[in-house]
Amino acid sequence: MICDDVQRDLDPYVDRELAAEAAAAVREHLSTCAQCRQRLADREAVGRLVRSLPYYHAPARLRARVSGRAQQSRSVRQLAAWAAAAVLVVSVAGAISLVRSAATRGNAIVGDVVDAHVRSLMAEHLFDVRSTDQHTVKPWFLGKLDFSPPVVDLASIGFPLVGGRLEYVSGRPVAAIVYQRQKHTINVLVWPVSDETIGLKEQALRGFHVRHWARNGMSFWAVSDLNDTELTQFARALQDR
């Protein structure tokens, strides 16, 4: 050990608070260092002086005051602990509420998306504009919505564009872009969201398969009675465009 190490450990050494190995190292250094032995002697002298001083009992009034403050301090600490626990409970409850609320909203949107798909088939209102040309379908939405939905044709991989229409989801107008896979209709509902990216999510409701993702400030919901594998293939292809 060096003198700096011994000086750091000297007080716990005097008070016999060092571990045995550390205390042995201090003793070994003291045996060869007169300066550190003097420091040890000074500390031991101070200790003896303190122990030799007379002891005075505190007055009863002072003891009562100190005891009262200690009790008050304990009460404050207990109150703070209860308050912290209450805040934690409220925070956890709030987080659970937010998660449940978000899940409820998400489930409601899935229901609205499936309802829109079913409604378009039952009411024979699948198209407001019927065309396989993306350069015809995309401009049709201009002036009808406060955003411009992306429209692409996937005929090259077996999912041709067949048209589009206006739709309503959760009380707001959205774009419905319609694709075909043999005899199966695929509705893709699109509307703006905050600029976030959401990976492909797979859901199902009432026998219909739903795929949801978000990118470039747009939320996409693809719904169809097409099988899971082909609908996922379609959604991934649309994501990449």
Q: What are phi and psi of 58, to 5 degrees?
A: -70, 145
Q: Would you place residue 103 in the very low, low, confident or very high pLDDT band (cuts 50, 70, 90)?
A: very low
Whether residue 34 is predicted with pLDDT greater than 90 in this model: the reply is: no
Whether residue 17 is predicted with pLDDT greater than 50 in this model: the reply is: yes
53 to 42, 56, 57, 109: CA distances (angstroms)? 17, 9, 13, 81
**Domain boundaries 100-239, corresponding CATH code:** 3.30.200.100
Mean pLDDT along residues 15-34: 86
> Which residue from 238, 233, 205 is spatially nearest to 219, judged by alpha carbons?
238
Q: Pick the range with the lowest mean pLDDT from 72-86, 123-137, 141-155, 170-184.
A: 72-86
Q: Would you place residue 4 in the very low, low, confident or very high pLDDT band (cuts 50, 70, 90)?
A: confident
Whether residue 174 is predicted with pLDDT greater than 60 in this model: the reply is: yes
Whether residue 206 is predicted with pLDDT greater than 60 in this model: the reply is: yes
Residue with more model confidence, 122 or 182: 182
Helix 3-14 vs helix 20-30: crossing angle, to nearest 10: 120
Res 84: pLDDT: 63
Residue with more model confidence, 63 or 220: 220
Res 22: pLDDT: 87
Helix 34-52 vs helix 20-30: crossing angle, to nearest 10: 110
Q: Which pTM does this prediction carry?
A: 0.57
Mean pLDDT along residues 157-181: 94
User: Which sequence spans correspond to the domains of the chain?
Assistant: 3-52, 100-239
Whether residue 219 is predicted with pLDDT greater than 50 in this model: the reply is: yes
Q: Pick the range with the lowest mean pLDDT from 99-103, 105-109, 125-129, 140-144.
A: 99-103
Q: Give the H/E segment covering residue 136.
A: helix 134-140
